[in-house]
Amino acid sequence: MKLLLTSAGVKNESIKQALLELLGKPIEECNALCIPTAIYALNGGTKHAWNFFNGDFSTPMCELGWKSVGVLELSALPSIDESVWRPAFDKADVLLVNGGDPLFLYHWMKQSGVASLLPSWKGVYVGLSAGSMVMTPRIGEAFVGWRASDEQSDDTLGFVDFSIFPHLDHEMLPENTSRDAAEWAETLQSPAYAIDDETAIRVNEGKIDVISEGKWRKFF
């Protein structure tokens, strides 16, 4: 799998270059599908979804100059025959997966069937915040919001073997300090990264490297 797991999208030239290397061709030659699903579980989600599509939220993803951009809404897929949406999924060079609630996204990744398709899909997966966290084994109780049931754990897809604490030391998120990140990691007792909005984690067929013009920390 080829993954670019970001805190806030393609925020700087280093992250953009990492994306281009994963794509293997210019952005303007690539077909993108954006997945807004996670944001609908948050207050103001419908407005935030529009900002994601329109490029008004300081998290560059959809507005990078793709050859084409389509929308894949995961919560709609269980009621649609796979033959309707699967060709667009297979054709996509990149998936742009929005932030929001990671467990809501996890639920619809599973329910839609997209989670089962990702391991054999040949494109590049680009996650933003929750869109990155959903690829990890656990998000930690600190990030649990929406639940499908009272018994749901903090487990997510587990396509990588580390967890992610996004928006490290963000000025608008007082609960995301370096100390908070360290306490979060202590509860997990497993490999984890805390990354700020100028940082991304690139995973290319199992090889992991951190791309950063900002601040990040690895735990365990």
Q: How many domains does the chain have?
A: 1
The pLDDT value recorded for residue 151 is 64
Check which CATH number belongs to the domain holding 114 and give it. Answer: 3.40.50.880
Query: Is a pLDDT exceeding 80 seen at residue 11?
Result: yes
Q: Which helix (H) or strand (E) holds 36?
A: none
Query: Is a pLDDT exceeding 70 seen at residue 14?
Result: yes
Best CA proximity match to 68, nearest among 118, 116, 34: 34
Q: Strands 192-195 and 124-128, how do they pair?
A: unpaired
pLDDT band at 150 (very low <50, low <70, confident <90, very high): low
The pLDDT value recorded for residue 58 is 87
pLDDT band at 70 (very low <50, low <70, confident <90, very high): very high
Total-model pTM? 0.96
The helix/strand/coil state of 135 is coil
Best CA proximity match to 93, nearest among 109, 75, 114, 69: 69
Q: How far is CA 110 from CA 22, 31, 177, 193, in A?
A: 25, 24, 31, 24
